[in-house]
Amino acid sequence: MKKKQVQGLRCKVKRTCRLNPEPCALHQCGFTLIEVLIAMTLLSIMVVLLFSSLKICADSWEKGESKITDVNEVAVVYNFFQRHLSIAKPLWNDLSEEEKVFSFKGKAQSLQFISSFPASAGRSGLQLFSLDLQEEDNEQVIKVTITPFFPVAEGEEWHKEEVTLIKHVTEFSMAYFGSIDGVSEGSWQEEWLDIDFLPRLVKINIKLENEIFWPEMIIDLKITGLTNNADIRIDNINNPGNTDNAENSDQPEVVQ
């Protein structure tokens, strides 16, 4: 009886091995603990490398965005001075009852001049720009105040607009190149006050808290002579936003 059972068991084993020619040893039917640990270790290393690559990509993207922002900030400030300061008008500020003074006033950390916006801008006509360094929320900022430069009716006031040009400023200085008496050789001056004509050049230095390099800006003023205020005002009324013709006018007109 036992002999028959053994023979039957052998037949079953043989049939199984014939159907599955691969070895049927017990130790080859699954993974050992060491194999599982090795696989988990390799998977962990791959995940760490993947996340490290993603972090490097994210940091590079953030640095690129920051660099673009810094470059755009420099471009905005430079365009402001190049667009408005370069075409400053040598006019007298005689619109109020106060003493008549020349419109251009330059100090080491403040500047006042008269210029205009392009025809496409919402504000037309001449504008009085006042630029200075101020303290705001425990940091230094450069602010620009824009005031229309034309007479107003009695009882009315000019509508002033104040905008922040740049924040996080650590150093800000300006210098002016020209001949103070109009005869001697020009030189750089820290101030341009009580002079009835414009300087030839304006040098602007700005440094920020992030220590990003800002190139020294030198603005060439296109007009340095005197212009009759009456010409500008008449042309301003007839052609708002266009003041180029007034500079070349040969026959001054008088405001009635």
- Contact in structure between 128 and 43 (CB atoms under 8 Å): no
Mean pLDDT of 47-52: 88
Is pLDDT above 70 for 97?
no
How many Cβ atoms from other residues are within 10 Å of residue 243's Cβ?
A: 22
pLDDT of residue 98: 62
Position 14 confidence tier, pLDDT thresholds 50, 70, 90:
very low
Report how many domains make up the chain: 1
3-state secondary structure (DSSP) of residue 75 = helix
What is the spatial distance between Cα 238 and Cα 231, in angstroms, rounded to a whole number? 11
148 located within any domain: yes
104 located within any domain: yes
What predicted TM-score, i.e. pTM, was given to this entire model? 0.63
Cα angle 11, 15, 16; round to 5: 120
3-state secondary structure (DSSP) of residue 85 = helix
Token readout for 202 is 């304006």
The alpha carbons of the chain give a radius of gyration, in whole angstroms, of: 39
What is the spatial distance between Cα 86 and Cα 76, in angstroms, rounded to a whole number? 15
Domain assignment of residue 228, given as a range: 70-247
- Contact in structure between 176 and 201 (CB atoms under 8 Å): yes
pLDDT of residue 4: 52
205 located within any domain: yes
